[in-house]
Amino acid sequence: MPIILQVKNLVKRFGGVTAVNGVSLALEAGKIYGLIGPNGSGKTTLFNCITGIEERDAGAVGFKGRRIDGLKPHQIFHRGIGRTFQIIRVFPELTARENLMVVTSGDLERARQRAEELLRFVKLERLADEYAGNLSYGQQKLVEFIRVLMTDPELILLDEPAAGVNRTLLNELLDAVRALRDRGKTILLVEHDMKVVMGLCETVFVLDHGEKLAEGPPGVIQSDERVIEAYFGR
Amino acid sequence: MTPVITPIMLGQVIVSGLLAGALYAMVALGLGLIFGVMRVLNVAHGPLLMLGAYVTYWLFSTLGLNPYLSLLVSMPVVFLIGVALQRFLVRRVVDAPELSSLLLTFGISIALVNLAQLAFTSDLRSVEFITGSFLIGPFAFSKSRVIACLFAGGITALAFLFLQKTRLGKAIRAVSQSREVAQVCGINVQRIHLFAFGLASALAAAGGTLVTVMVAIQPEMGAVYTFKSFLVIVLGGAGNYPGALLGGLLLGLVEQLASLFLTTQVNEAVAYVLLVLVLLLRPTGLLGGRST
Amino acid sequence: MNWNLGEALRRWARWFRPGLGVLLVLLILYPLWGTGYGVRVLLQLFMWIALAQSWNLISGLTGYVSFGHVAFFGMGAYTAGILVTQGVLWPLAALAGGAMAVILAFVIGWPCLRLKGPYFAIAMLGLNEVLRVAASYFEGLTGGGLGLSLPTLDASVRVYYAMGVVAAAVTVLTHAIVTSRFGLRLMTIREDEVAAEAMGIDTFRYKIYAFLLSAAAPGIVGGLAARDMGYIEPVSVFPLVTTITMIVMVLFGGKGTIWGPVLGAVILFGFQELVWAHFPHAHQVLLGAIIITVVLAMPRGILGVLQQKYNLPRTI
C-alpha cells in the first residue's frame, strides 16, 4: 500500500520546552494507526503540526507525495485531511445540521443530503435542528466525528475519540472507524484507552517526551520494556 | 530640506526617550499584570491613570500638597478603586471569552471618563510645580521628566522586587503561569485577582500623578496611555513582565527618534503603525510571550 | 396573569410582515405631511439603523469587535464633502464615500484581520485617534481643524429617502447573510475560529468580506450626513461616541440577529433624543453602564433573551 502521510524529523518548541523532538513516521493508506504515550508526550502537538494549527520549527510533512508543512489549516483540510479535537469543538450556536453543512462548498442541496445521510449513520437525524451546544457530550462527539466525514477526507486524525464516551456509543464509533478503513481511508488516532488501541489499531506509535519511543503491532508494543517504563515510571 | 542631525541632538533624543520610556514601562506593567493574571484586556487602564492625576491635582489645588508626595495618596486610593472594580464587575468575566472582558472594560472606561467629565468638567487643569531643565553639558533635560523617570524607575523596581521576592508576588507569578496549578498549590486565586487588579490600578495612578506636572489634566487624558500600554505589552510579549520594561523603553525611544523627523501631530500615528507592524510580524512580542 | 409572552409573540409574528409593510408605506409618505423637524429626526434614526446593522455584520456575526468603526463614517463624510465642494452631485458623492470607506476597510483589514480577535480589537482602538490626526494633518484637502463647509442646500427630504434606502438595504443584506451558508461560516469564526480553520474555512477571507461589507453603509451614510449637516470637522465626524453608540445599540438589541440592531437603534435613539441634548456626559455614563449591564446580564441582547426563553428561530 502506498505511503499516504510522511512525517520527517518534526520539531516543535514552545519557549524553552521541546514538545516534539525529531519525530518521524510513515502511514500506509487504508490502515488504522494508533498514537499513544504518557500525558505531555507531544501527541496533540504532533497532530497540530500535521494539520497546520501549529507551525513546526523544523522537519517536513508530506501528504500523498506533496509537502503540506507551512500550509494553513484550511488548505490542509482541502487536501484531504480531517481531524477531531481532544476537547470537543462543535459550533454551539449552529444546529447539528448546520455544523455539518458549513463545512462543504458547492451545491447546497447535495450538502444537505449528505449531512442528513451522516446524521442517520449515527442515529442523530431527529436532532438535526437542535443547537449543537444543547446536545449531550456523547452526541456532540458524534457530530464532531461525522462533521469530519462531510468532505470524505482520505486521512482522518482522531484525538481521543473514546474519552468520556459510554461503551455502547464507543462500540458504534469503533465500528464506524473500521468501516471507514474498509473503504480505503487511513485513520490515525490518539488514545489513552489501551483496550481501544489494542483492539482497533494495526500499528501503534509510542511517543515519550516528544520522541518516538517505539513502533509496531499492538501486541509487540504492549510487551516492550521501554514503553512500560515510560508509562509506569522509572 | 532635511534637518541636520547632530550627535548632540541624537544623544538628547535618546535619553529623552529612555526617560519617557520608564514611565510607559511602569504603566504598562500594570496592564500586563491584569492580562497575565486574569487574561483580561483592561481598556479602562487609561481612565485609572486619569483618576490618579485628578487626585494629585485636587490635593495640590486645595492643600498645596507636593505632587510627588501625593503618590502616597493617589496610589492607595486608586488601588482600592481597582479592587472594587474587580470584585464587582471584572470578576464575572474572567472566565468568559476575552471579548466579553474587552467590552466590559470598555464600558467601564466610558463610564469613568464621563463621570470625571461630570465631576471636573473638561476644562484643562495643570499642576504648576516644577519647570525648567537640568543642564548637563550640552544636554538639557526637562526637570519634571527626569524626576518622573526616577520615581517611575523606583516604583517599577519595587514592583519587580515584590514579584520576585515576596510570597504574594510569587503567587501572582504562579497564577500568571497556570491558574489550575496555582489553585492546586493552595493559592487563593480570587484574592490574587483582586490584588493584581488593585496593584495594576495603583501603577496606572502613579503614572497619572507623575504626568500631572507635565501635561494638561483632562478626563480624556488616559486614552492615549491605554493604547501605548497595549503597545508596550505587545512589544515586550504578553505575560512577560520584564518584557514590559523593555517595551516601554523601546516605545519611548522610537517616539523621540520619530519626533526628529516628523511633526508632533503624527507622533501618535507612529505608535499605531509600530503596533500594527509588531502584531503582524511578531505577535508574540519581541521578547516572546504568550499569545492570547 | 394568564398571558404567555411566548404565545403572544408567536401570534403577533403573523402580523409582523404586513405590519412592517404598513410601517414602510407610512415612512415613505411621511415627508408629505410631517414637519421639517420630524423629517430630520427620522433621517437620523435611519442613519443609526444603517450604522448599527453594519457594525453587526462584522462584530455581531464574526465576533471581531470593531472599536474604530466610526472611521468609515468619517471617511465617507470627508470624501463626499470634498467631492461636493468640487461640484459633484451629493448622491454620487455619498456613493463615492462608501467606496472610499470600503477601500479604507481593505487597507486596515488586510493587516489587522490576520490578528486574533482581542488583538484586532486593540488595533481598532487606536484607529480613531490616527484618523482624527490624519484629518487635521491633511489640511489643504480637508480644511484641517477648521473644518470643511459645503455649499448650502436644503435637501432634507431627499436625504431622508436616501438614508431610508440605505437602512433598508443593509437590513435586507443582513437577512440574506444570516440565512445563508456564508453567514453560517461567519458565525463559525465567532464560535470557534480554530475549529473553523480546521474544517476548511478560510477565516481570513471571510473576515475580510464581512469587514468590507460592514464599511460600505457607514461610508455612504457618512457622505449623506455630511450633506445634511453642511459642515464637517474632524471632531464631528470621528467622535468616539458614535462608535460607542453603534456598539451599545447592537449589544442591547441583540448582536448577530437581523432585527436586534434595529430594535437597539430605535430604543437608544429615542433615549438619546431625550437625554443626550441636555446631559451629554450623563448620557455617556449611561451608555457605559448599559454596556456593562449587557455584558454581565444579557450578552445576547434583548432579542437574544427572547430567543432563548421562547425558542425563537435564530433568523429574526
- Chain C CB within 8 Å of residue B108 CB: yes
Which pLDDT belongs to residue C172? 95
| Partner residue facing B93 (CB), from C125, C244, C295 | C295
| Partner residue facing A108 (CB), from C181, C187, C197 | C181
In chain A, % of residues over pLDDT 70: 99
Question: Do the domain assignments include residue B252?
Answer: yes
Which pLDDT belongs to residue B217? 92
Say whether C199 and A147 touch across the interface (CB within 8 A).
Answer: yes
pLDDT for A234 beyond 60: no
Which pLDDT belongs to residue A166? 85
Which pLDDT belongs to residue B149? 92
Q: How many residues does chain C have?
A: 316
- Chain A CB within 8 Å of residue C191 CB: yes
pLDDT for C109 beyond 80: yes
Taking Cα atoms as reference points, which of B7, B20, B39 lies closest to residue B210?
A: B20
Find the mean pLDDT for residues A137-164: 91
Interface test with A, best of C194, C197, C199 (most A CBs within 10 A): C199
CB C283 within 8 A of CB B116: no
Which pLDDT belongs to residue B278? 79
Which pLDDT belongs to residue B283? 64
pLDDT for A54 beyond 50: yes
B252-276 tens-digit pLDDT: 998 888 887 777 667 667 777 787 7
Among B248-252, C177-181, C227-231, C286-290, the range scoring the smallest mean pLDDT is C227-231
**Confidence class for position C282, pLDDT limits 50, 70, 90:** confident
Strands B139-142 and B133-136: what pairing? antiparallel
What is the domain-level CATH number for residue B236? 1.10.3470
Which pLDDT belongs to residue C167? 96
B86-143 tens-digit pLDDT: 999 999 998 877 788 889 999 999 999 999 999 998 888 888 888 888 888 888 888 8
- What is the SS3 assignment for C259? coil
How far B163 CA lies from chain C's nearest CA (Å)?
Answer: 26
Chain C residue closest in CA terms to B238: C119
How many structural domains does chain B have? 1
Say whether A53 and C197 touch across the interface (CB within 8 A).
Answer: yes
**Confidence class for position B292, pLDDT limits 50, 70, 90:** very low
What is the residue range of B105's domain?
Answer: 7-120+135-281
Enter the ipTM. 0.88
Say whether B283 and C130 touch across the interface (CB within 8 A).
Answer: no
| Partner residue facing C195 (CB), from A85, A93, A101 | A85
**Confidence class for position B291, pLDDT limits 50, 70, 90:** very low
In chain A, % of residues over pLDDT 90: 56
Find the mean pLDDT for residues A130-143: 90
Question: Do the domain assignments include residue B218?
Answer: yes
Q: What mean pLDDT, rounded, does chain B reach? A: 87
A91-136 tens-digit pLDDT: 998 999 999 999 988 888 999 999 999 999 888 889 998 889 899 9
**Confidence class for position C144, pLDDT limits 50, 70, 90:** low
Residues contacting A234, CB < 8 A, separation 6+ = none
Which pLDDT belongs to residue B257? 84
Say whether C134 and B117 touch across the interface (CB within 8 A).
Answer: no
Which pLDDT belongs to residue B286? 59
Which has more pLDDT, C310 or C37?
A: C37
The C-alpha cell 507622533 sits at B267
| Partner residue facing A89 (CB), from C185, C192, C201 | C192
Find the mean pLDDT for residues B195-220: 94
Among A207-216, B176-185, C285-294, the range scoring the smallest mean pLDDT is B176-185
Say whether A89 and C188 touch across the interface (CB within 8 A).
Answer: no
Give me the domains of chain A, ranges plus CATH numbers: 3-232 (3.40.50.300)
Which pLDDT belongs to residue C6? 65
The C-alpha cell 506533496 sits at A66
The C-alpha cell 481598532 sits at C124
Which pLDDT belongs to residue B3? 60
pLDDT for C4 beyond 80: no
Nearest 5°: the CA angle B205, B141, B59 is 30
- Chain C CB within 8 Å of residue B276 CB: yes
Spell out which residues of chain C touch residue B280, defining contact as CB-CB under 8 Å.
111, 114-115
**Whole-angstrom distance, CA of residue C307 vs CA of residue C293:** 19
**Whole-angstrom distance, CA of residue C268 vs CA of residue C247:** 11
Which has more pLDDT, B45 or B1?
A: B45
Among B76-80, C145-149, C238-242, the range scoring the smallest mean pLDDT is C145-149
**Confidence class for position B39, pLDDT limits 50, 70, 90:** confident
Which pLDDT belongs to residue C36? 83
Residues contacting C10, CB < 8 A, separation 6+ = C310
Question: Do the domain assignments include residue B238?
Answer: yes
Taking Cα atoms as reference points, which of C249, C208, C229 lies closest to residue C113?
A: C208
Taking Cα atoms as reference points, which of B227, B245, B224, B226 lies closest to residue B236?
A: B245
Find the mean pLDDT for residues B210-237: 89
Q: What mean pLDDT, rounded, does chain C reach? A: 87
Spell out which residues of chain C touch residue B238, defining contact as CB-CB under 8 Å.
none
How far C45 CA lies from chain B's nearest CA (Å)?
Answer: 23
Chain B residue closest in CA terms to C60: B99
Spell out which residues of chain A touch residue C184, defining contact as CB-CB under 8 Å.
94, 98, 101-102
Q: How many other C-beta atoms lie within 10 A of the C-beta of residue C181?
A: 16
Spell out which residues of chain C touch residue A98, defining contact as CB-CB under 8 Å.
184
Under 8 Å CB pairs connecting chains B and C tally to 119
Find the mean pLDDT for residues A70-82: 93
Which pLDDT belongs to residue C116? 79
**Chains with at least 3 CB pairs less than 8 angstroms from chain A:** C
With residue B69 as reference, give the H or E element that holds it: none
Chain C residue closest in CA terms to A131: C314
Residues contacting C143, CB < 8 A, separation 6+ = C149, C233
**Confidence class for position C146, pLDDT limits 50, 70, 90:** low
In chain B, % of residues over pLDDT 90: 45
Q: What mean pLDDT, rounded, does chain A reach? A: 90
How far is C-alpha B240 from the geometric centre of its chain's CA atoms? 15
- Chain C CB within 8 Å of residue B92 CB: yes
Question: Do the domain assignments include residue B127?
Answer: no
- Chain C CB within 8 Å of residue B268 CB: yes
Which pLDDT belongs to residue C143? 62
**Confidence class for position B56, pLDDT limits 50, 70, 90:** very high
Which pLDDT belongs to residue B55? 94
In chain C, % of residues over pLDDT 70: 91
Which pLDDT belongs to residue B88? 95
Interface test with C, best of B229, B263, B279 (most C CBs within 10 A): B279
**Confidence class for position C98, pLDDT limits 50, 70, 90:** very high
C-alpha cell at C95: 456613493
The C-alpha cell 467622535 sits at C239
Residue B90 is given by DSSP the state G
Find the mean pLDDT for residues A204-219: 90
Say whether B227 and C125 touch across the interface (CB within 8 A).
Answer: yes
Residue B2 is given by DSSP the state P
How far is C-alpha A25 from the geometric centre of its chain's CA atoms? 15
Say whether C201 and A89 touch across the interface (CB within 8 A).
Answer: no
Say whether B279 and C123 touch across the interface (CB within 8 A).
Answer: yes
Among A68-77, A190-199, A222-231, the range scoring the smallest mean pLDDT is A222-231
**Whole-angstrom distance, CA of residue A80 vs CA of residue A75:** 9
| Partner residue facing C181 (CB), from A83, A102, A151 | A102
How far B19 CA lies from chain C's nearest CA (Å)?
Answer: 24
Find the mean pLDDT for residues A171-178: 90
